[in-house]
Structure 1
Amino acid sequence: MHIIPVIDLLDGQVVRAVRGERRHYRAIASALCGSADPRIVARRLCEHCATDTLYLADLNALQGRPPQLEWLRTLLQDQPDVALWLDAGFSGPDAAAHLLARLAPTAAARVTPVYGSESLRSREALAACFAPPSRALLSLDHRQGAPLDPAGVWELPAQWPRRLIVMTLSSVGSDGGPDLDTLAAVRARAPDAQLIG
């Protein structure tokens, strides 16, 4: 099993996600980390999970604000052996390329863009995001049974990449475990996909 820890980063602090209600997120309090400092949290989570991959949700960018580029650079420098899956509210491949171009080439090579259905703005963008040789991931986002999907991504399984994240925002931070019903529904529509939930 490959465990990929997740950090939600808001205004330079790691916050505790609660059911996708971002306005209520507060700095994390954890016995494992003892801090909301992203460097400490990232280091401890990666050590604890014995992983070489970290998922970072830039909540500033996801809410339409500038990405936390300095923190992204800091985390990549502080964790030189860790690959980063980055969800920064990318509307399409040009937005991801623009952000990655602002990193050092060696650092940018360790970042995998995550395109969330809540952020993609067109079906054309969906196709462009996963045109070869893309290594990006698609996050199928929904809350309380309703897709977060302005572009209609959920209705286009033929255009989904092989690796899919199934993100049930209303379950995040609820201590309710994975959303097995939605994972099963996505599996039925994409039987060959690698599901991450």
Structure 2
Amino acid sequence: MDVIPVIDVAHGQVVRAVKGERSAYRPIETPIAATADPAELARGLAKLFPFRTLYLADLDGIEGRGRNKHLVPALSHVLPGAEIWIDAGIGSRGASRAVLAAPVATLVVGSESIETARVWTDISAEAPARTILSLDFRHDEFMGPESLLTDSSLWPSRVIVMTLDRVGANAGPDFQRLKDIVSRAGARRVYAAGGVRNRADLDALRKLGVKGALIASALHSGKISAGDLKEVAGQ
């Protein structure tokens, strides 16, 4: 099972995400790093475990303040060889090219940033193998064109189920929704995002057929340890 650490960046600093309420995010305080500098936090994550993938939520890009273009080379320098998944609020094929220009980058397209399913198919056609769809939910409401949720033929080989109101809330994953998406995903790899609290949640997700989980708070709190990561990676 893949465990993917998440770094949320706003105004150039790593912030602690809570329930998707971005206006309330504050610079993170964590035993993993002495400051909220993204590269320093990535360095701390590398000491914890040799992660093969890092998820970067560029909130400045998502909220229209401009992408933190320097972050990919900085993070790649700290985590050589790691694949970096980037969600920067991309809503057009042209904008996707700028993200995909970095060889280590994989584009994450959040359904909340997509106006129509046709826009999604246009974006994903740029680099299908390096594009992931995030199905975004908030308070049981799907955020995005309804057909992206109901028509699984539109899904790429990797799909994230992002439950924003559970992020950093210690509420547990939305197991029922994940079970439904997995049942319709076929051979696609489904990743859970939002609510993962501990090793028990990871084990439960694996039993559902979820192939990976995006986590942040559980790493910073120590509720998921280096030993847990090693054991889960072998499963």
TM-score by length of 1: 0.89
User: What RMSD, in angstroms, separates the aligned Cα atoms of the two structures?
Assistant: 1.8
The residue type paired with residue 73 of structure 1 is P
Instruction: Note the alpha carbon deviations across 1:12-54, whole angstroms, 9 max, x for none.
Output: 1100000000000001111122321101111212331321210
Verify: 1:169 aligned to 2:164, yes or no: yes
Q: Is the Cα contact below 8 Å between 1:90 and 1:115 reproduced in 2? A: yes
Aligned to 2:230: none
Query: Matches of 2:182 and 2:71 in 1, distance apart?
Result: 35
Aligned residues: 191
Of residues 41-50 and 164-173 in structure 1, the stretch that sits farther from structure 2 once superposed is 41-50
Of residues 42-51 and 79-88 in structure 1, the stretch that sits farther from structure 2 once superposed is 42-51
The residue type paired with residue 136 of structure 2 is D
Of residues 83-92 and 27-36 in structure 1, the stretch that sits farther from structure 2 once superposed is 27-36
Query: Matches of 2:68 and 2:120 in 1, distance apart?
Result: 24
- Give identity over the alignment, percent: 38
Contiguous gaps of at least 5 residues in structure 2: 193-235
Q: How does 1:143-154 map to 2 (within 5 A)?
A: 143-150=138-145, 152-154=147-149
Verify: 1:118 aligned to 2:112, yes or no: yes
Q: How far is the alpha carbon of 1:151 from its aligned partner? A: 6.6
Of residues 117-126 and 81-90 in structure 1, the stretch that sits farther from structure 2 once superposed is 117-126
Q: Is the Cα contact below 8 Å between 1:121 and 1:151 reproduced in 2? A: no
The residue type paired with residue 56 of structure 1 is L
Aligned to 2:217: none
TM-score by length of 2: 0.76
Of residues 3-12 and 92-101 in structure 1, the stretch that sits farther from structure 2 once superposed is 92-101
Q: How far is the alpha carbon of 1:132 from its aligned partner? A: 7.5
Instruction: Note the alpha carbon deviations across 1:47-70, whole angstroms, 9 max, x for none.
Output: 313212100000011111210112
Q: How far is the alpha carbon of 1:77 from its aligned partner? A: 3.0
Q: Is the Cα contact below 8 Å between 1:92 and 1:121 reproduced in 2? A: no
Verify: 1:109 aligned to 2:103, yes or no: yes
Aligned to 2:215: none
Aligned to 2:150: 155
Q: How does 1:1-197 map to 2 (within 5 A)?
A: 1-101=1-101, 108-131=102-125, 134-135=128-129, 136-150=131-145, 152-197=147-192
Q: How far is the alpha carbon of 1:150 from its aligned partner? A: 4.3
Q: Is the Cα contact below 8 Å between 1:60 and 1:66 reproduced in 2? A: yes
Q: Give the structure with the higher percent helix.
A: 2
The residue type paired with residue 109 of structure 2 is Y
Change (3 A) 1:71 1:132: closer
Query: Matches of 1:129 and 1:154 in 2, distance apart?
Result: 17
The residue type paired with residue 76 of structure 2 is L
Contiguous gaps of at least 5 residues in structure 1: 102-107
Of residues 126-135 and 113-122 in structure 1, the stretch that sits farther from structure 2 once superposed is 126-135
